[in-house]
Structure 1
Amino acid sequence: VSVLYWCYRTASTKEQVDLGQRELTFRAQQRSPTMDAYVSWAVIFFLAAAAVSGAVLFFFVRDSHNMIPYATHASLLLSIFLCVLPFPLLALDVDAALESVDAGRTESYVNSWISVWWMLIFFATQVMAWVVLPILQEYDGAGQFTPGARFKHAIKENVRMYIVLGIVAGVLMGYIIFLAGVRSIGGMVALCLAAANAFGLTLLVVFLSIGLVGVPKLLWHLSSAETILKEEYRRGRQIHEDLDIAKTDMTLLRAEVVRRDPLVEEDERVNLATMLDEIAMLEKFVPLSHTNVGERRGADGPLQEKNLVELNAEVKRTIKICRRLQYQWKQVVKECCQLERVTTGVERSPYWVVVRAPLLKILAVLAGIVTLLILWSELVVPFQEVTATKLSVVEIFVMNPTTRFVACVLFLYYMAGCCYWAVFRLRVFDIYVVVPRVSDGASLCFVSTFLTRVLLPLCYNFLFISDLTKTHTLVTYSRLFGNMDVVVFLGEWFNRFMPVFIPILAVLIELKVIHRLMQAIGIEGFETGEESAIQRQREQEEGRQLVARAMNSELRDVAAGAAPAAAAVAISPAAAAGGEMQEKPKPAVSKRYEEWKAKRAAREAGTTDV
């Protein structure tokens, strides 16, 4: 849609040149047809953003949508929409403002109506980021058995968290208010807005630095089938190990639930049966072992007594992890099988040789160039006032009437893509992980919270490196949100020099310093690259053997007439390290678990007879 708009603007510019300067000045003073055209394109961008938002949400919840409440679906759709719409809208805002300046106007063509959109986006993103999404995130992981109880629990947890944060923030804000001498209510509100902008800008510095460095490297990495295959082997090894741990945890939880069956009161048996039904549903997709409870207790010690709510919360969390890891493992096996056929020459694919590899390498080089231009602009813009010279490459392209809209779309969309890519790769202690098709509501709410918090600072940062943040510019966004200089610490100096840390952090990321710090505090998703060549080769070989055994297992299952997903080969540690494959005998099934299944079948049969 942005390309279509650029074609339209190019044609309109050519037409205006043909009309002559006098006719152009006359039309610039009129409301129509220029304003009507901007309104029409804004509506088109609105509809396109809605379509993209629905497609993105469907991409992540295609197979898990039935496990996410409708309210969470609606909130996620709205938050994604709010994270997509501002970028074409800002490009339209900048184009209209600069076009108005060229026409000699004192007000932008779109100022009368686009300011309302910006205010709605601002308040909607703040409500979603600080109220709605955190509550829904907590609601999704709550262990209560009724929607009302889960909602109350989510409210209480968020209130408790905000009380703690409020005390800390209140002390800091009080200190800053005392230093700044703020005495009016309006000044305090403005100070809060400046603080929110400062927090979002800090997040932006981190995520944008990671994305600007990572995206070009990712594109180059994806151009080689052999490189992807090696990394998939390593990733498959880690996923298989995590899946084994998750299955073990799920087996122990099931044993705990069954053991609690004779201990709970009659009115709690329904809740216990609900947990067992969820576990039974999981077993259709993820095969679990049926080790006897007594054997587990003897091996792992006595099982601890747990509250049913806490137990249910842990069951729900483990079910999500098992489903996600099982899907990832199947995808790794499928991807490795396909890549092996390409790398070994069994399947001669013109797509890889002729199209994908050269195209991605070209895109990687272009992305690297754009990254360098953005980093250079972030570094030099704060010092342009001293030199009185345009040093920002982004500003030069944006201010040029010929490249104006193309530069806005290129740099703004690229910055948004890099920042969002880094946010989606964020994983905290393997709890909130976003995976295509099987993402859960809590993980999506977690990611959407960060997206909505960095959205407006990202738009502001683009205007900053384009030198369009001053309030006297005709850009409506700058007029509304460009006056964040309420206090010296949180205002002009902070907004001016904080982006300088983006290129500095980018260098530290390239040197793996930030990666080590992230892993030290439990934030995963970014490798340090410090593994030795021997260690990486060993991990790749172990992953290759695991994938090969999984493929052989599926082939045997198909030959025997069974579903490939139903039979899983248990691999011993020795086999994983390079020994021969050994199939473990199926352990004894828990008698109590079988009794529960028999009671359930009898109950269903009795209900059918009635």
Structure 2
Amino acid sequence: MIHIATSSSPVPSIVFALIALFLLSIVVLLILRYYLPLRTTPAYLLVPVFFALWLPASIVLLVPIDLASNASTEDEATKGIWLPARALLVSWRISYWLTFVLTWFILPILAEYSDAGYREPKDRIMYSLRSNAQYYILVFGSGIVGLVYFFISYGPSFVSLKGLIMALAYCWGLVLAIYLMGHGLVAIPRALIRGASTSKRLRLLQSKAPRLYEKMEDALLNLEDLEVQVSELNKRKTGSARDFQDWIEELSDMCNIPESRPRSVIPRPDNDSRIIPTVVTEKYLADLTRQLIRARHAKSRYIDEWNYLLQDASKTQAILDSAASKKLDFGASAPSSSFFSKLTILTPYTRYLLYCHFIPYFRVFLGGFLALASVCIIWSELIKAALPSLSVIRFTVVHHWTGENGRVGFAGQVIAALWILYMCAAALLSITEVKVWRGRALVRRNTAHESAFWYAGQVARLSVPLSYNFVTFLSPMIYKKTTFYHILGQYVNLTPLGKWFDYLFPIFVLLPVLATLFGLYGRVKRLFGFGVDIVDEDEEAENLSGYGTGSWREGRDLIERELHGTSISAAASSRTGAGARATPILTVPGSSRSERPGARTPFATSPSYHDYDRPTAAARSRNTRAEAEPEEDDNFFTSLSHRFKNTIDTIDAPKWLQDLGDGLKKPKWLGEDNEASGSASASGSANRPRRTDSDIRRWFGGEGRIRL
């Protein structure tokens, strides 16, 4: 590669850039193929999502080329990949403005279009525009305030309007990028270091199992409720439902409900026909279609996550068990496994050495290296405004200094690309971990269309702010000469407010870093009862007692029952349809295991032990609405007093206190012999001891009552 760049002609660099873009295109296609079935996915989804991923990847490649083109070395042997100024300007304009349009207009509209639920394209477009209208009104309202500020500062002109649009888009993207990147800079090294210990990794998987299984169970029950609703709707052949008969039949085909399907075993308080409105409207059917599509993808998502957790737990347990025999064998690969998973090269002993010795140390080394890189990024963010000359990233990229001017060679380009990739990877990983995105998720080969648009939009939204934020780590003598600065940077720094925001706001990266490092998310959630739903690994790892809801002991029992259970893949595939792609296998515990003597206590939320006795989400909501006077939640002090009372009521007397009566005997002058004493202590408090004639109360009167 260095030999290609030795010529002063830009042709070798152009050829190298084209080859790199071609390789990036192949990588993007492989990513799309991993999450989406390319043959059945419509073109209106594939093309925008492809460019939403390809353009940020090209920006990661374009930033180092821009740095080397405007700060190149005089030594031809160390000169990097560079392009002429005109080619750079055209490339940046295409990349930036296409990314801008995709982020703010095309992807949001297409996302709501795919999630509309209507049949006709016109109705779906109108629904998408109405759904995005509120968001656009909010954005334009903020833009009007900024437009007034720009016009007062620089007068009404096209430059002011253009600078306002670019500055607001950059600031909003930077806010989201800094928060997500701060979380990922801690989460990535910590996950690698913790994963080095096989036992801790298995314990963490067992801690996640109960919560994930409960979510999967809720998703299955929610889908069942919607299918029952569609089944009842299909039975209505008169009235307003007759006008939408084709639509209703499409919903029935989507559910694939057979006529001989048995009714749900869940007892329902009222008739199923009451869940259908009296007048069936187009809006109702669109909402039902939307809910049904989301429920099907939610089911596929949790089943896929659950199967992945089972496979990971099974492999981790096999690694632990191989410590005695020094041989590791994972068994036969699943039919849905990839080609590399089915490929067998290593022997059991070499596989044991790889997984038990090499990979743990490599994970520790890589985690420590990335932790050091995270410290360098955080340090550069903190001192960027005050002491820019102490930035560590600056010295790793610029290797050739001539006085105050720096030069970027090929090695600096490679290091710069790696820095940007790590920053983007930290932000994008946080998007998949922070579960506040309306249930959106990436599922292998079955990602929902709306989720694919949304995640692609986030990739496009975060790439430009993070790339320019990285450029500002370097010396102003270098990055102010780049084409990237003339495209975006000069408009961000057009006003003192934007300049200070660009320099001071990245300091707030400490907030997500400290929150993730010390587990503040779980503490905030426990304190206020709400919070960002981030998987708090600190809280799960510190639950060493193994008791309580979602403990690792319950997860261990659940995983063992699932791995030795009975597969119901036939039932799952029948619900997806004969021509549809088979869904991941879902297993349930076998009945023989639970009936054996000495079996562990069954998991509380496992459907194999209560046979779906818990009501569904719709049934619970109907029961709640049917109650005349709903029970109010107790406050903190009432709940605390109830817990104290229940604890005291259930305390059994210690044995030494129960045996105390046998050791204390009444004297003979009270007339209590050993037999009476023994019978009294044996009968307990339920049976009173018989009264004798020598009772001391008879000294005051005949019948044991005190008389005056």
TM-score, L = length of structure 1: 0.79
CA distance in 2, matches of 1:428, 1:37: 46
The one-letter code of the counterpart of 1:529 is: D
- How far the C-alpha of 1:392 sits from its partner, in A, is 0.8
Which residue number corresponds to residue 390 of structure 2?
Answer: 391
Whole-angstrom distance in 2 between the partners of 1:214 and 1:372 = 13
Which residue of 115, 119, 132 maps to 2:106?
132
- What is the CA-CA distance between 1:206 and the residue it aligns to? 0.8
> Which residue, out of 134, 137, 145, partners 1:163?
137
Tell me if the contact between 1:394 and 1:407 (Cα under 8 Å) persists in the aligned partners: no
Q: 1:527 aligns with which of 529, 536, 557?
A: 536
Correspondence 1:216-235 to 2 at 5 A: 216-235=189-208
Return the match for 1:502 from 501, 509, 513.
509
Question: Which residue pairs with 2:307 in the alignment?
Answer: 330
CA distance in 2: counterparts of 1:145 and 1:75, whole angstroms = 22
Match of 1:607 in 2: none
Question: How has the CA–CA distance of structure 1 residues 536 and 529 changed in structure 2, closer, same or farther, with 3 Å as cutoff?
Answer: farther
In structure 2, distance between residues paired with 1:556 and 1:122? 50
Q: Would the aligned equivalents of 2:183 and 2:513 in 1 still touch at CA under 8 Å?
A: yes
Larger radius of gyration: 2
SS at 1:428 equivalent? coil
> Is structure 2 residue 46 aligned with structure 1 residue 73?
yes
Unaligned 5+ residue runs, structure 2?
329-351, 401-408, 575-581, 595-599, 615-708
1:437-469 Cα distance to aligned partner (Å, 9 max, x none): 332221121122122111111111111112258
Deviations 1:347-400 (A, max 9, x none): 532221233111111111111111111111111121137xxxx21111112221
Aligned to 1:317, the other structure's residue is in SS state helix
Counterpart-to-counterpart distance in 2, 1:382 and 1:221: 34
Query: In 2, Cα distance between the equivalents of 1:566 and 1:45?
Result: 42
Partner amino acid, structure 2, of 1:180: S
The residue identity in structure 1 corresponding to 2:517 is E
Deviation at 1:297, TM superposition (A): 4.3
SS in 1 for 2:602: helix
* Structure-to-structure mapping, 1:462-481, within 5 angstroms: 462-468=470-476, 472-473=480-481, 475-481=482-488
% same residue: 19
1:394–1:466 CA contact under 8 A, matched in 2: yes
CA distance in 2, matches of 1:77, 1:522: 34
- Which segments of 5 or more consecutive residues in structure 1 lack a partner in the other structure? 13-31, 588-610
Distance 2:39 2:364 in 1: 39
Q: C-alpha distance in 2, partners of 1:552/1:236?
A: 16
Deviation at 1:291, TM superposition (A): 0.6
Matched, 1:370 2:373: yes
Tell me the residue number matched to 1:273: 249
* Correspondence for 2:270: 298
Aligned: 1:56 with 2:31: yes
- Structure 1 residue corresponding to 2:564, chosen from 552, 555, 575: 552
> Is 1:513 aligned to 2:520, yes or no?
yes
The one of 481, 485, 495 equivalent to 1:487 is 495
Per the alignment, do residues 470 and 100 of structure 1 end up closer, same or farther by CA in structure 2, a change over 3 Å counting? closer
Residue identity opposite 2:201 in structure 1: I
TM-score of the pair, normalised by structure 2: 0.69
Structure 1 residues 528 and 579, CA, compared in 2 at 3 Å: closer, same or farther? closer
Q: CA deviation at 1:215?
A: 1.2
Which structure has more helix as a fraction of its residues? 1
What pairs with 1:71-110 in structure 2 (closer than 5 Å)?
Answer: 71-99=44-72, 109-110=83-84
Tell me the residue number matched to 1:441. Answer: 449
Contact 1:279 1:319 in 2 (8 A): no
Tell me which amino acid in the other structure corresponds to 1:173: G
Displacement of 1:155 in angstroms is 2.6
Q: 1:506 to 1:182 in 2, by over 3 A?
A: farther
Distance in 2 (alpha carbons) for counterparts of 1:469 and 1:410: 22
Q: How do residues 353-364 of structure 1 correspond to structure 2 at under 5 angstroms?
A: 353-364=356-367
- How far, CA to CA, are the matches of 2:161 and 2:126 in structure 1? 31
Change (3 A) 1:192 1:321: same
Encode CA deviations 1:535-564: one digit per residue, 9 max, x unaligned: 765521222222222222237999xxx999
Aligned partner of 1:274: which letter? E
Deviations 1:507-542, CA, capped at 9 Å, x for gaps:
343233366669977643342734662576552122
2:120 to 138, 142, 146: 146
SS in structure 2 of the partner of residue 85 of structure 1: helix
CA deviations 1:115-163 (Å, max 9, x no partner) are 1111101111111111111112112221112344323322332234312
Partner of 2:316: 339
In the TM superposition, 1:233-272 aligns within 5 A as: 233-261=206-234, 262=236, 264-272=240-248
CA distance in structure 1 between the aligned counterparts of 2:3 and 2:207, rounded to whole angstroms: 46
Q: Is the 8 A contact 1:395 1:467 kept in 2?
A: yes
CA contact (8 A) 1:6 1:406 kept: no
Distance in 1 (CA, whole Å) between partners of 2:434 and 2:420 is 22
The 1:517–1:570 alpha-carbon spacing in structure 2 relative to 1, beyond 3 Å, is farther
Q: Of residues 463, 487, 501 in structure 2, which corresponds to 1:455? A: 463
Could you say if the C-alpha distance between residues 114 and 342 of structure 1 is closer, same or farther in structure 2, counting changes exceeding 3 Å? same
Higher alpha-carbon deviation: 313-322 or 533-542: 533-542
Q: Which residue of 2 aligns with 1:313?
A: 290
| Cα shift readout 1:55-79 (whole Å, capped 9, x = no counterpart) | 11112225xx566432112211111
**Out of 547, 570, 576, which is 2:603 matched to?**
576
Correspondence for 2:160: 187
| Whole-angstrom distance in 2 between the partners of 1:580 and 1:324 | 19
Checking the alignment, whether the CA contact within 8 Å between 1:100 and 1:109 is kept in structure 2 is: no
Q: Is the 8 A contact 1:469 1:478 kept in 2?
A: no
Q: Contact conserved, 2:182 with 2:512, CA < 8 A, in 1?
A: yes
Cα shift readout 1:235-257 (whole Å, capped 9, x = no counterpart): 22222111111111112111212
Q: AA paired with 1:154?
A: S
Q: CA deviation at 1:503?
A: 3.8
Change (3 A) 1:250 1:514: closer
User: Is the 1:430–1:524 contact (alpha carbons within 8 Å) kept by the matching residues of 2?
Assistant: no
Say whether the 8 Å CA contact 1:428–1:523 is kept in structure 2.
Answer: yes
Contact 2:34 2:444 in 1 (8 A): yes
